[in-house]
Chain A
Amino acid sequence: MSYVAASICLILAGGGAALTVSRRVRLGHALFRLLVGGGCLLGAGPAIAALIGLDMPDVRITTGVPGGPWVFGLDTLSGAFLLAIVTVGGACAFYGIPYLAGDAPRRAVHRAHALVALLVAALAVVVTARAVMPFLIAWEVMAVASYLLIVFEHERPAVRRAGMLYLVATHASTLALFALFAIWGREARDLTFAALTACAPTLPDGGAAVLALALVAFGLKAGIVPLHVWLPEAHAAAPSHVSALMSGVVIKMGIYGLIRVVAMLATPPAWWGWLVLALGVISGVLGVVWALAQHDIKRLLAFHSVENIGIILIGVGAGALGLAYGAPTVAVLGFAGATLHTVNHALFKSLLFLGAGSVIHATGTRDIDRLGGLGTRMPLTATAFLIGSAAIVGLPPLNGFVSEWLIYRSLLGSGISMSAIRIAVLATGALALIGALALACFAKVMGVVFLGRRRDATTHDAHEAPRGMTWPIVALAGVCMAIGALPALVVPAALRVGVLLSGGPAMPLTITGDPASAALTVYTLSVTTGLLAAWLLWNSPLGRRRMPATSETWGCGFARPTARMQYTSSSFAAPLVAAFRSVAGVHTHRSACAFETHAGDPVLDGFALPAWSRIRAVARWFHPLQRGTLSRSIIYVVAAVLVVLVYLVAAGRAA
């Protein structure tokens, strides 16, 4: 635990260095890199130790802190999330320095670096806190730091709007958390998680209120449909490395909270499992359908975060159902898959956001349809982005496949058991639909942005990103490939998390002896080497009897094909968007010589904004009340006091 504390202090010190040494830019950046990098490395150690099953004692601070004892601890669940935080946090912090360098004359860039460090530190505290007070404080610090980073480019109205939306969502989430802990803490001895766990069996209705509130509070943070409305806006507005950090780890705190609550409640009721499973299916399918319709690369990636949160929730739902119906294998595999997918998604989604950042940095546009043929100009970024795309789609042999495989196994395992949980096997169809649609979407992004020919002058002087921006991306791609080729590296740790959540070591599925993951490792390793060998052989002189010739792309009879005749992202996605038109939320505008599609968010446009304007309309009635003079304000106060007194008197008489 002391390593974690030291790591958090180092990261904070790095932020402080960036803030205070802002005059001497090079020194400030060097200190920031050194301290944050060192802090992240230091934090990875205990996280890995927790994941390989070492027991770490909790730290208790009893004196001098408000709200009862503050406890900090590190178990396998926290370890998995901490590892994701320090990996992604480090990569994003390093990437941010060259990424924001161009903004330095106009804005307070050093403040943004400091905020990134603060955010990473707050995240580390969130996952290690074992008492309500430090958890909520870190949660709020995280929320505020994210807000300040989102409104980094605050002179743009769209950014301010996104920031406001985020602020509303995150505070609604905090409010629900207050309610949750208030209800739960009423029964408990003090506000440590251990005390809450101890009193969990006494909660009314099996903790129904707590579970429902957890779903709202953490669902708002994670971006579960229909609570996701803030997510695409905020991700599109923030600088790319902040989007990467937010999509990679900040929204995952919602998942962490949800899983932590389940762990503390021991056995959730069956309805909650079914509800989470259904929400997962809905978020997954709708997220990817909305992503398909987007032209803005960052909004597209943001909707994919909604989709992946859906996949993770399917795992959590399967795990909860396994607990409720007493099917331990299903539970372990479901929670293990959900946790591993959280970590994997942190890795490849931050990779993709950073890659998108490099594209924006090089071309100055986020509109996919104006890009094209960037693969030859930015080879490293393109290759890493390709790996990230294949990983997020869940293709073997990459890391996304490993975690989806665990979730699939959990669902298929439910089909073998005899109780009502068997119906969960149908979710495999939904998971497959999500995967296939994600493939379509990333084929679109890869194809339209990096392959083919450039579409207009925007990309004329596109260039590979500076080294400080490419290596974090390449490093993340390397981690994705390593996990994918060697699942046995991570699956035991994931299963350990699953066992922790299912409570008790009496599992049919021993951690080291999961034969399937060993077999999968042998298989993926041989497939990887086989594919690599085949590729090398095929492209070597041995593989070809004649030298290949080069020529123009065949124009199919067109005398002069132009780059504008290429399929655009809209045309590529059109058949699928048409098939899902009732939920896709695409508006088309036609005029005599132009055709335009606008991809919105049906929940935001169709529900949240109308509701918001209705609330505003009602609130306007009360507007005159607020605009009074001092004397009128005093009258309100006196009136309020009188009302309370009358109520007290009446209540006293009634009692």
Chain B
Amino acid sequence: MSVAHATALAVLLIVAPALPGIATKTRAVLTGRRGAPVLQLYYDLGKLVRKGSVYSVTTTWVFRTGPVVLLGSLVAAALLLPLDGRDAPAGFSGDLVAFAGLLALGRFALVLAGLDTGSSFEGMGASREVTFSSFAEPALFLCFAALVLATGDASLSGMLGAPVRVAWSHAAASMSLVGLSLFVLLLAENSRVPIDDPATHLELTMIHEVIVLDHSGPDLALILYGSALKLALFGALIVGVFLPRADLAAPAATGVLVLGLALVGVAVGVVESVMARVRLTQVPALITGGAVLALFGIILLLR
């Protein structure tokens, strides 16, 4: 791992909690409110880390392991992304499978931790989480498949690295469809409007937030930070598709990444302020819509 890799990774880990803040701020501004500060999540994390945890008597080691595995797997997945625009610290052929697998590992840990409490609310959240991710994961792989076809490279370093610029020159339509599809997935996988509403506190309307009802203190901090990091990872995928930056020097490439992430945050905020949450039964159709975008991109490439 070179200095450039380490810097880019560190920058991603540091700016990640600002991303939900940017989205919330955008939403507030567009709806004429002042809103919480952009850095609110940093304050929350600081507060939670200083608190103690409360564990339910029904829980076992599975509950205590969940948050650690969630965050650990997300950090491990970040190692596979070419954050500096060229290559990843730990890239190899087929690493995109490991990327998706690690996201799934984090999800598995979180879902089991939720079920460990024996509460029907966590059960409900866990059920919804696995349901919607069952639709999101094939969509993610269709995006990856389209990128493989467009760039001719089966690793994340290639798909989001140097060959991206060439791919834009001959398959612009497919690339933009993939980017769009990834944005739908970002909304779905990170429980944003129109799939879920992170701002409400009605458990019945929520997916992700309800699994973590019983987590508290530092454990909750890990989960909240993990959610922000997951948003940043998907944001980095989108930035990698739309802003090829292999020609830039490493610091500039990292700067563009941060800028791109901020734009993604703004886009999420805009979507949240113009759209309403769809009914839970419609969510699979929405995610399938995202998958069909990627599928259309593939059709254009296979022509």
Direct contact of A and B (CB under 8 A): yes
Report A's interface with B, CB cutoff 8 A.
372-373, 375-376, 386, 390, 393-396, 401, 404-405, 408-409, 412-413, 415-416, 422-423, 425-426, 428-433, 435-437, 439-440, 442-444, 446-448, 451-453, 515-516, 519-520, 522-524, 526-527, 530-531, 534-535, 538-539, 543-556, 561, 563, 565-567, 571-576, 578-579
| In the complex, residue of chain A having the shortest beta-carbon distance to the beta carbon of B147 | A415
Which residue of B123, B218, B284, B298 contacts A447 across the interface (Cβ within 8 Å)? B123
Q: Would you mind naming 22 contact pairs between A and B with Cβ atoms under 8 Å apart?
A: A375-B60, A395-B101, A396-B98, A396-B105, A405-B97, A412-B144, A416-B152, A425-B298, A429-B138, A429-B291, A432-B137, A436-B138, A451-B60, A523-B79, A530-B76, A538-B68, A539-B64, A545-B49, A549-B53, A552-B57, A571-B123, A575-B127
Which residue of A372, A447, A516 contacts B92 across the interface (Cβ within 8 Å)? A516
A554 near B137: Cβ-Cβ < 8 Å: no
Query: A192 vs B67: C-alpha distance in the bound complex, in angstroms?
Result: 58
B56 near A550: Cβ-Cβ < 8 Å: yes
B52 near A547: Cβ-Cβ < 8 Å: yes
In the complex, given contacts A396-B101, A422-B302, what are 14 additional A-B residue pairs having Cβ atoms less than 8 angstroms apart?
A401-B101, A408-B94, A412-B96, A447-B126, A453-B118, A516-B92, A524-B98, A531-B69, A535-B68, A535-B69, A548-B54, A553-B118, A554-B56, A554-B119
Query: A439 vs B145: C-alpha distance in the bound complex, in angstroms?
Result: 21
Query: A543 vs B115: C-alpha distance in the bound complex, in angstroms?
Result: 24
Binds A, one of B5-13, B106-114, B259-267: B106-114
With a cutoff of 8 Å between Cβ atoms, the chain B residues found around residue A520 in the complex are 92, 94-95, 98
Contact status of A563 and B73, CB under 8 A, knowing A545-B50, A551-B54: no
B58 near A373: Cβ-Cβ < 8 Å: yes
Provide the B281-292 mask, 1 if CB < 8 A to any CB of A, else 0: 100100000010
B127 near A451: Cβ-Cβ < 8 Å: no
Query: A527 vs B148: C-alpha distance in the bound complex, in angstroms?
Result: 25
What are the 4 closest A-B residue pairs judged by CB atoms, nearest first?
A567-B123, A447-B115, A546-B52, A452-B118
A408 near B55: Cβ-Cβ < 8 Å: no
With a cutoff of 8 Å between Cβ atoms, the chain B residues found around residue A573 in the complex are 127
Most chain B Cβ neighbours within 10 Å, of A376, A423, A551: A551
A395 near B54: Cβ-Cβ < 8 Å: no
Binds A, one of B34-42, B128-136, B228-236, B241-249: B128-136
Contact status of A416 and B148, CB under 8 A, knowing A548-B52, A554-B213: yes
Does B72 belong to the interface (CB within 8 Å)? Answer: yes
With a cutoff of 8 Å between Cβ atoms, the chain B residues found around residue A452 in the complex are 58, 115-118, 123
B236 CB to nearest chain A CB (Å)? 18
Query: A545 vs B138: C-alpha distance in the bound complex, in angstroms?
Result: 41
A400 CB to nearest chain B CB (Å)? 10
With a cutoff of 8 Å between Cβ atoms, the chain A residues found around residue B60 in the complex are 375-376, 451
| In the complex, residue of chain B having the shortest beta-carbon distance to the beta carbon of A375 | B60
| In the complex, residue of chain A having the shortest beta-carbon distance to the beta carbon of B123 | A567
Query: A539 vs B73: C-alpha distance in the bound complex, in angstroms?
Result: 17
A550 near B54: Cβ-Cβ < 8 Å: yes
Query: A443 vs B218: C-alpha distance in the bound complex, in angstroms?
Result: 24
| In the complex, residue of chain A having the shortest beta-carbon distance to the beta carbon of B92 | A519
A375 near B62: Cβ-Cβ < 8 Å: yes
A196 CB to nearest chain B CB (Å)? 36
Which residue of A386, A409, A433, A453 contacts B138 across the interface (Cβ within 8 Å)? A433
Does B140 belong to the interface (CB within 8 Å)? Answer: yes
Does B4 belong to the interface (CB within 8 Å)? Answer: no
A31 CB to nearest chain B CB (Å)? 40
B97 near A566: Cβ-Cβ < 8 Å: no
B5 CB to nearest chain A CB (Å)? 14
Does B142 belong to the interface (CB within 8 Å)? Answer: yes
B300 CB to nearest chain A CB (Å)? 13
Most chain B Cβ neighbours within 10 Å, of A373, A443, A547, A576: A443
A395 near B108: Cβ-Cβ < 8 Å: yes
Query: A239 vs B86: C-alpha distance in the bound complex, in angstroms?
Result: 55
With a cutoff of 8 Å between Cβ atoms, the chain A residues found around residue B281 in the complex are 578
Contact status of A579 and B92, CB under 8 A, knowing A552-B57, A567-B123: no
With a cutoff of 8 Å between Cβ atoms, the chain B residues found around residue A431 in the complex are 141
With a cutoff of 8 Å between Cβ atoms, the chain A residues found around residue B111 in the complex are 443, 447
Does B164 belong to the interface (CB within 8 Å)? Answer: no
Does B124 belong to the interface (CB within 8 Å)? Answer: yes
B104 near A556: Cβ-Cβ < 8 Å: no
Contact status of A566 and B119, CB under 8 A, knowing A433-B134, A433-B137: yes
With a cutoff of 8 Å between Cβ atoms, the chain B residues found around residue A519 in the complex are 90-92, 95
B284 CB to nearest chain A CB (Å)? 5
| In the complex, residue of chain B having the shortest beta-carbon distance to the beta carbon of A422 | B302
Query: Which residues between 151 and 181 of chain B lie within 8 Å of chain A, taking CB atoms?
Result: 152-154
A44 CB to nearest chain B CB (Å)? 29
With a cutoff of 8 Å between Cβ atoms, the chain B residues found around residue A575 in the complex are 127-128, 131, 280
With a cutoff of 8 Å between Cβ atoms, the chain B residues found around residue A404 in the complex are 97
B138 near A432: Cβ-Cβ < 8 Å: yes
B45 CB to nearest chain A CB (Å)? 14
Does B271 belong to the interface (CB within 8 Å)? Answer: no
A414 CB to nearest chain B CB (Å)? 9
A98 CB to nearest chain B CB (Å)? 26
With a cutoff of 8 Å between Cβ atoms, the chain B residues found around residue A554 in the complex are 56, 119, 213-214
Query: Which residues between 264 and 283 of chain B lie within 8 Å of chain A, taking CB atoms?
Result: 280-281
Query: A556 vs B136: C-alpha distance in the bound complex, in angstroms?
Result: 29
Does B65 belong to the interface (CB within 8 Å)? Answer: yes
Most chain B Cβ neighbours within 10 Å, of A520, A555, A571: A520
| In the complex, residue of chain A having the shortest beta-carbon distance to the beta carbon of B60 | A375
| In the complex, residue of chain A having the shortest beta-carbon distance to the beta carbon of B93 | A516
Query: A553 vs B121: C-alpha distance in the bound complex, in angstroms?
Result: 11
B62 near A556: Cβ-Cβ < 8 Å: no
Query: A524 vs B102: C-alpha distance in the bound complex, in angstroms?
Result: 10
B73 near A531: Cβ-Cβ < 8 Å: yes
Query: Which residues between 172 and 231 of chain B lie within 8 Å of chain A, taking CB atoms?
Result: 203, 213-214, 217-218
With a cutoff of 8 Å between Cβ atoms, the chain B residues found around residue A563 in the complex are 118
Query: A520 vs B128: C-alpha distance in the bound complex, in angstroms?
Result: 32
With a cutoff of 8 Å between Cβ atoms, the chain A residues found around residue B138 in the complex are 429-430, 432-433, 436
Query: A258 vs B271: C-alpha distance in the bound complex, in angstroms?
Result: 51
| In the complex, residue of chain A having the shortest beta-carbon distance to the beta carbon of B91 | A519
A415 near B148: Cβ-Cβ < 8 Å: yes
Query: A440 vs B126: C-alpha distance in the bound complex, in angstroms?
Result: 9
Query: A154 vs B112: C-alpha distance in the bound complex, in angstroms?
Result: 38
Query: A126 vs B136: C-alpha distance in the bound complex, in angstroms?
Result: 42
Query: A527 vs B95: C-alpha distance in the bound complex, in angstroms?
Result: 13
Contact status of A535 and B65, CB under 8 A, knowing A452-B115, A567-B123: yes
Query: A535 vs B64: C-alpha distance in the bound complex, in angstroms?
Result: 9
With a cutoff of 8 Å between Cβ atoms, the chain A residues found around residue B213 in the complex are 554, 556
A374 CB to nearest chain B CB (Å)? 11
Which residue of B52, B67, B93, B142 contacts A429 across the interface (Cβ within 8 Å)? B142
B127 near A553: Cβ-Cβ < 8 Å: no
With a cutoff of 8 Å between Cβ atoms, the chain B residues found around residue A544 in the complex are 52-53, 218
Does B149 belong to the interface (CB within 8 Å)? Answer: yes
Query: A458 vs B152: C-alpha distance in the bound complex, in angstroms?
Result: 57
Query: A535 vs B102: C-alpha distance in the bound complex, in angstroms?
Result: 16
Which residue of B69, B126, B149, B153 contacts A567 across the interface (Cβ within 8 Å)? B126
A415 near B51: Cβ-Cβ < 8 Å: no
Query: A409 vs B98: C-alpha distance in the bound complex, in angstroms?
Result: 11
Which residue of A393, A447, A531, A574 contacts B72 across the interface (Cβ within 8 Å)? A531
A409 near B68: Cβ-Cβ < 8 Å: no
| In the complex, residue of chain B having the shortest beta-carbon distance to the beta carbon of A412 | B154
| In the complex, residue of chain A having the shortest beta-carbon distance to the beta carbon of B101 | A396
With a cutoff of 8 Å between Cβ atoms, the chain B residues found around residue A534 in the complex are 68, 71-72
Contact status of A530 and B72, CB under 8 A, knowing A451-B115, A548-B53: yes
Which residue of A372, A422, A440, A551 contacts B57 across the interface (Cβ within 8 Å)? A551
With a cutoff of 8 Å between Cβ atoms, the chain A residues found around residue B140 in the complex are 432
With a cutoff of 8 Å between Cβ atoms, the chain A residues found around residue B203 in the complex are 556
Provide the B69-83 mask, 1 if CB < 8 A to any CB of A, else 0: 101110110010000
With a cutoff of 8 Å between Cβ atoms, the chain B residues found around residue A435 in the complex are 104, 137
Which residue of A409, A432, A439, A578 contacts B93 across the interface (Cβ within 8 Å)? A409
Query: A376 vs B59: C-alpha distance in the bound complex, in angstroms?
Result: 9
